[in-house]
Each structure stands twice: as C-alpha cells, then as structure tokens.
Amino acid sequence: MWKIIYDNIIIAFESIKSQKVRAAITLLIIAFGIMALVGTLTVVRGLDNSFSSSLQSMGSNKFTFKRYENQFIQKGPRGRHKVINPRIVYRDAIDFKKRYHEENAIVSISMFAANDVEIKSDSKKTDPKFKIFGVDENYMQVNANEMKEGKSFTQKDILNNRHLAIIGEDLKVDLFPDTNPINKEIIISGNRFKVAGWLKPKQSTFGGSRNDQVFIPLNLARNFFPSAQANYSIAVAVTDKSTYGQQVDKAISLMRKIRKLRPIQENNFGINRSDKLAGELKSVSSSLQILAFIIGLITILGSSIALMNIMLVSVTERTREIGVRKAIGANRFLIMIQFFVETLVITFLGGLVGIIFGLLIGFGVANVMDMPFSMPWNAIGMAIFVIFAVAIISGLYPAYKASKLDPIESLRYE
C-alpha cells in the first residue's frame, strides 16, 4: 500500500511539472484560503495577548474611581441623554484615602497634569510628546509599574514636595541614550527635577505607547500645572483576591458618602473594575476568534470549490491517459488513488505556503500595531486539519469520476 502511495506521489509531482500554470493557480487558491485562516487567527491571538498584557500591567485585582465610566450616554424616560457627573476633586480624593482603612487594600490617588510636554536636559530637548502625571507614594505599586533602576516615591517625598521624577523608557532613550538617568536633572515646563527612577518598558496598549509617561509628586503637579477642570483618579489594589467584591462594595459606599448622595440617588461617579474589564476583554477576544474562524472557513470553502472544479477539468483533459492506464492493467482503485494523491499533494503544498504567509502577515500586523507576537500553534493545527479536509472534500469526487471512466471510451476520447 505504501509503495502504491509513494509511486502516486511521484506521478503527482510529474503531473504538476507538466501542468505548471494550472498547478500554480490551484496551489495559490489553496494558499490564499489557508493564509486568510492562519493570518486572521494569528492577529486575533496577538490582540488577545495584548489584552492580557495590558490588563496585567494595569494592575490585577484593582478598581478605579473616575468621573465617568466607559458609557457616557444613558437611557432615560425621554430617550438617551448625556450624563454630567461632577468632577472628582482633590478634596474628594484625599478624603477617600484618609477614610478608607481596609487591611487588604492599598489606595492611590493621581491626576493627569499635562499632555504633549517638551522636556530638557543640559543641551538636549525632546519633541513635545510626553504626558505628565501627578502621583502619590502608592501609585507605582497599585498600578503594577516596575522600576528598572532607582526607587519609587516615598511618603516623605510626597509630603515634602521633593523635586523628583520617575521617567519611562521613551524619555530615557531621548535624553540619556548612553548613560544611566538616575540622579540626572531634567527640566519640565521650566521646573527642575532629579530623576529618582526609571521604569521597565511596558507593552503598548492597543497601539498607544505607555512609555512616554513622566511621574512627579502629586502636590507639585497641582502647583505647576494648575487647572480648574482637573480630575483625580482614585485606585484601590486588593491584595486578597477573595475579598475583592467586598472591598468594591465598601469603597462605593464610602464614595457615595463623600459625594453626599441620598440612598435613592444613582452614583455620580464611574468605577472601572479589573474583573469586569477582564470579562469584557475575554468576550471581545472570543467574538474575534469566532469571526476570524468564520471568515477563514468561508475563504476555505471557496478554495475547495475552485480546487474541485480544477481537478474535474484535469480529469476531463486526461481522459485518454486514464484509458491507457486502465488498458495496461490499472484498476478503479489505483486510478482513484492517483488523482486523490495528486489533489493531496497540491493541497499540502498550497497549505504550507499559506501557513508561512499567514504567519508573516500576523507577524507584520503585530509589529505595526506594536502587539506581542507568539506562535499560534492552535491556528497551525487547525490549518493542517483544514488542509486534509479540503483534500478529501475536493479530491474524492474527481478521483471517483476518473475511476468510473470506461477504458474503451477513454481511449477513443480526443
């Protein structure tokens, strides 16, 4: 049996050589379908990895109070209306931090101070692209920011308004490409700061860099970047995962008291929960995978139909060859094996090309969108399964038709 298959593989390659154009077209049809399947699943896997990486880097088991949640528009008795929440002001944030005393929780407050800021050091200066944040001593721990070198802010640093800064990878590359930035001086909007720490690079979130951030003590940010519309964020990291829901409920209750809300009033603030975000990201990822799989299957179905038509044309064109083989002793089984193996070889070669180009597309998209790339073994496994499925679906009928041809009529065919 293996000898028969081996001989037919040799015949298949000889047939491909003799019909280069037709074989190339057939191979490209299969390659395109497999490329679409592997490429889309690879990109979706990259997005999934990006979601997971982003969630971990934002801090697991964390919830954050902000002015608004993701949904700004709500439905009311008279239709949709815009929700206008009062700002979370400095007094609210400080009050919450002083009053929220839970054993398994760490509270941090911060503010977004400025965007598109130019930063200088000696004779060097950067493009106006950096974001400035005012933070407290707990910010780095709560938000899972890891130091590459140096140290984070202490409570004394914050209370004494020390002119210290913690910088991201982008600023280090721009101003201190060949030197250690620790204890170096930088100038932000005319104010001098000493670099206390340098953060480990972070993976970009949905194509946006998170390495262009600079952190300074909260009160200095309030003084140097005053704004009547400043909003403060309150983040709580829960160290004991089993108490997460309980901590959220207690924090919401305290925030409602700080905002002086009556029991019948709705929350006039937003809360972003890491567990809810994780569920939403998982749902989005699952939907994308299903969509990618459907797109890939539709493409593969089209490729299968095209391959079957080409093989049927091949059977018609080679009717005389089939008659000769039957006349010299080949039975129906051998004729069927010949055409089926030929279909399998073409499908395998097209699938291999499709897998390679699909991976290259996924790698290219990951680089362009600055997403993590990992080998999508599930997509490759699925592609191999699909390759054999396409070969069986597209090859059996043409092979069966070839085996049914009458040898006398085949020899008379011109």
Task: Find how far residue 173's CA is from the centre of its chain.
Answer: 26
Report residue 226's pLDDT band, with 50, 70 and 90 as the boundaries. confident
Cα distances from 352 to residues 177, 265, 364, in angstroms, run: 43, 62, 18
Cα radius of gyration (the chain): 32
Checking if the pLDDT of 364 tops 50, the result is: yes
For residue 99, what pLDDT is reported?
92
Separation between Cα atoms, residue 329 and residue 331, nearest integer Å: 6
H/E stretch holding 64 = strand 62-66
Checking if the pLDDT of 73 tops 50, the result is: no
Q: What value does the mean pLDDT take over residues 28-57? A: 70
The per-type count for the chain, helices as H runs and strands as E runs, is 13, 14
Q: Which two tokens stand for residue 83?
A: 């929700």
Tell me if 91 sits within 8 A of 203, measured CB to CB.
no
Q: What DSSP state is assigned to residue 209? A: -
- Summarised one tens digit per residue, pLDDT across range 144-186 is 888 899 999 999 999 999 999 999 999 999 999 888 999 999 9
Q: Is pTM, for the whole model, over 0.85?
A: no
Tell me if 216 sits within 8 A of 134, measured CB to CB.
yes
- Summarised one tens digit per residue, pLDDT across range 13-34 is 676 666 677 777 777 877 877 7
Q: Which two tokens stand for residue 153?
A: 């802010």
Which range has the worst mean pLDDT, 104-118, 326-340, 356-370?
326-340
Checking if the pLDDT of 335 tops 90, the result is: no
Ramachandran area for residue 122 (φ above 0: left; ψ -120 to 50: alpha; else beta): left
H/E stretch holding 188 = strand 185-188
Tell me if 60 sits within 8 A of 144, measured CB to CB.
yes
Task: Find how far residue 341's CA is from the centre of its chain.
Answer: 39
